[in-house]
Structure 1
Amino acid sequence: MATRYWMVSLPVQSPSSNLWSQLQDSISKQSFDTPLYRFNVPNLRVGTLDSLLSLADDLLKANAFVESVTHKIRRQIDELERSSGVDAGSLTVDGVPIDSYLTRFVWDEAKYPTMSPLKEIVDGIHSFVAKVEDDLKVRVAEYNNVRSQLNAINRKQSGSLAVRDLSNLVKPEDVVTSEHLVTLLAVVSKFSQKDWLSSYETLTEYVVPRSSKKLYEDNEYALYTVTLFSRVADDYRLKARERGYQIRDFEHDPETQESRKQELEKLTRDQESMRSALLQWCYSSYGEVFSSWMHFCAVRVFSESILRYGLPPNFLSCVLAPSLKSEKKVRSILERHCTAGNSAHWKAEDEVGAMAGLAGDAEAQPYVSFTINLV
């Protein structure tokens, strides 16, 4: 699948000239690696010249918006698929691959009546895409909220001993709790373990000798217990902090542990359910927005062709996918099929600049041309 297409229109000089066949013949002989497709634009309602000129001012900005939302949904699909370790599925419009939809485009008369004013069609597309974008923001925010909660819990489960949940590391028999005694949990740097073992008994009075036991060790820290009289616990915390040891608060509570486990399981289920629902919505919405974008491109090529070639509408619109090395050759072919005399507006330099602005090309061309980037 090509990812970048040119949409162009060329003026038809007379009904008897078979411009399409001539263009096909030229491309096949001189740039055989460039796919060429006819892009069928219906006879839309032209309106007044003033309305066309006014619409032309909005077309570029509106196209940029519709295109950006299309790509935003696609990036979201890629991110969701990546997070599940699955390759992204094919993007379609009503079951048709997007490149095939573009190259075999058929105007949807039921959705966009050709007798509607062009501005009405463009505004309708813009409003629909804006609503999809708003919906996307809400759905992604809800999904990210659940994902953030789950990530926070997972960090506590698998982070360093300085922050992680200790409930699955400490057993009931590791902790002494009585009327006078309490067991504290100390997080000690891996490189300070000898210092801890030689000093923990003397940080304060009333520490039970040889009561420190290592429960766990990660890449940065080790977790030790120390048992002492309850009345010196606060002072011990202070002295330990002064020596660079962190005393972690901990209370062995089976009910709390079970509640946390259930919360983790629920968030995991919610995340997967929301990811699946969001992904399905993105695939569906992408097809709808892409279809709207292609109808927008049809309006754009129609209106720009009228402004460039005049009335009545008599032009050939097509889609090409040249490689980078073939671009100059294809431009040359298109220009030969569209001499300056073919365009009523291809005269003064200021008009050339205006038409180039309409087409959105970096360089002015004697025909309507703009680029469609699928990714």
Structure 2
Amino acid sequence: MATRYWIVSLPVQSTPASLWSRLQEAISKQSFDTPLYRFNVPDLRVGTLDSLLSLSDDLVKSNNFVEGVSHKIRRQIEEFERVSGVESGALTVDGVPVDSYLTRFVWDEAKYPTMSPLREIVDNIHVQVARIEDDLKVRVAEYNNVRSQLNAINRKQSGSLAVRDLSGLVKPEDIIMSEHLVTLLAVVPKYSQKDWLSSYETLATYVVPRSSKMLHEDNEYALYTVTLFAKVADNFKTAAREKGFQIRDFEYSPEDQESRKRELEKLMQDQETMRSSLLQWCYASYGEVFSSWMHFCAVRVFVESILRYGLPPSFLAAVLAPSVKSEKKVRSILESFCNNGTSTYWKSEDEVAMPGLGGEADTYPYVAFTINLI
């Protein structure tokens, strides 16, 4: 599948059929590796020249917006597929791969009646795509909120002993809680463990001798218990802090542990469900935006062809997918079909652009713009 296509239009001097067969022949002879397809633009409502000029000023900007939303959704799909380990599939519009939808484009009359004013069609496309973009922002924000909560919990689980959640490291038998006695948890730098073991009994009065036991260690710290009389706990904490030992606030509660475990499981399940449903939504929405984009391109070809070649509308639209090395040759072939009076519209480097035409269409004697699928 090509990822970059040109949509072009050429002025018709005799009949569209004869121009099409001449173009096919020229491409097959001189650039046989360039796929070529008709791009079927319907007979749209022209309106006034002023309305066309006014509309064409907005076409490039609107195109960039629609294209941007298409790429945004595509990137979101790629990220979700990577995270979920889902094999990347072909993106589709109503079951048709997007490249096939482009190369076999058919105007949807039910969705965009051809008798509607062009401005109305363009505005409808813009509104629809903007709605999908807003929807995407809301859905992604909800998903990221759940992911942030999970990341925060995981950081607590995997951080150093100075910050991590200790509930999973402490068992009921490690803690003594009575009317007079209390067990504290001390986070001791690994290089200070000897100092802790030799000094903790003297950091306050009424510390139970030999009550300190190591529960866990990581790369930086060791976690120790110490049991003492509750009334001296504050004095002990102050003295410990002065020696560089951190006393972590901790209250053992099996109910809290179970509740945290359930919360974590629920968040993981929520994240999985949301990601799966958001991925399905992205698949469907990408198809919708891509379809809107191709209808928009048809309007753009129609408007720019009239502004370049004049009225009544008489042009042939085509889709090509030249390789980088064939581009120059294909440009030259297309230009050869524009030598019958239309070259007066061509903007050379030191001439002023023809009013109403935007972007790369100004650079060539024929209408042309690029579709980047990625």
Q: Smaller-chain TM-score range? A: over 0.9
Deviations 1:133-173 (A, max 9, x none): 11111111111112211222222223222222211110111
The answer to whether the 8 Å contact 1:352/1:364 transfers is: no
Q: Tell me, in whole angstroms, the C-alpha distance in 1 between the residues paired with 2:212 and 2:23.
A: 87
Work out the CA distance in 2 between the residues paired with 1:324 and 1:201.
78
Structure 2 residue runs of 5 or longer lacking an equivalent are none
Specify the SS of the correspondent of 1:214: strand
Q: TM-score, normalised by structure 2?
A: 0.94
Instruction: State the distance in 2 between where 1:184 and 1:79 align.
Output: 45
| Distance in structure 2 (CA, Å) of the matches to 1:297 and 1:202 | 81
After TM superposition, list the pairs within 5 Å mapping 1:50-69 onto structure 2: 50-69=50-69
CA contact (8 A) 2:240 2:247 kept: yes
Matched, 1:364 2:363: yes
> Given the superposition, is the C-alpha separation of residues 347 and 362 from structure 1 closer, same or farther in structure 2, using an over 3 Å criterion?
closer
Is 2:164 aligned against 1:164?
yes
Counterpart of 1:364, as a letter, is: T
Q: Which residue of 1 aligns with 2:140?
A: 140
* Of 271-280 and 80-89, the range deviating more from structure 2: 80-89
Match of 2:290 in 1: 290
Greater shift, 342-351 or 191-200, is seen at 342-351
Q: Aligned-pair distance for 1:291?
A: 0.2
Superposition pairs of residues 1-375 of structure 1, within 5 angstroms: 1-15=1-15, 18-339=18-339, 341-343=341-343, 345-346=345-346, 353-354=353-354, 358-361=357-360, 364-375=363-374
Does the 8 A contact of 1:185 with 1:223 survive in 2? yes
1:347–1:159 CA distance, 2 compared to 1 (3 A): closer
Amino acid at match of 1:264: L
Q: Aligned AA for 2:240?
A: A
Query: Percent of counterpart pairs with the same letter?
Result: 79
Count residues with an aligned counterpart.
374
Q: Could you tell me whether the CA contact under 8 Å between 1:189 and 1:222 is conserved in 2?
A: yes
| Runs (5+) with no aligned partner, structure 1 | none
Report how far residue 235 of structure 1 moved.
1.9
- In the TM superposition, residue 343 of structure 1 has moved relative to its aligned partner by 4.6
Please, what TM-score do these two structures have when normalized by structure 1? 0.94
Q: 1:233-266: CA deviations, max 9, x gaps? A: 1122222222222211111111111111111121
Tell me the distance in 2 between the aligned counterparts of 1:142 and 1:250. 32
Residues 347, 327 of structure 1: CA spacing in aligned structure 2 closer, same or farther, 3 A cutoff? closer
Check the 8 A contact 1:359/1:369 in 2, yes or no: no
Provide closer, same or farther for how the CA distance between residues 16 and 186 of structure 1 changes in structure 2, counting only shifts above 3 A.
closer
RMSD across aligned C-alpha pairs, in angstroms?
A: 2.0
Aligned 8 A contact 1:91 1:283 in 2: yes
Query: For residues 111 and 209 of structure 1, do their structure 2 counterparts lie closer, same or farther at Cα, with a shift above 3 Å needed?
Result: same
Contact 1:308–1:343 at 8 Å: present in 2 too?
A: no
Shift of 1:200: 2.3
Helix, strand or coil for the counterpart of 2:354?
Answer: helix
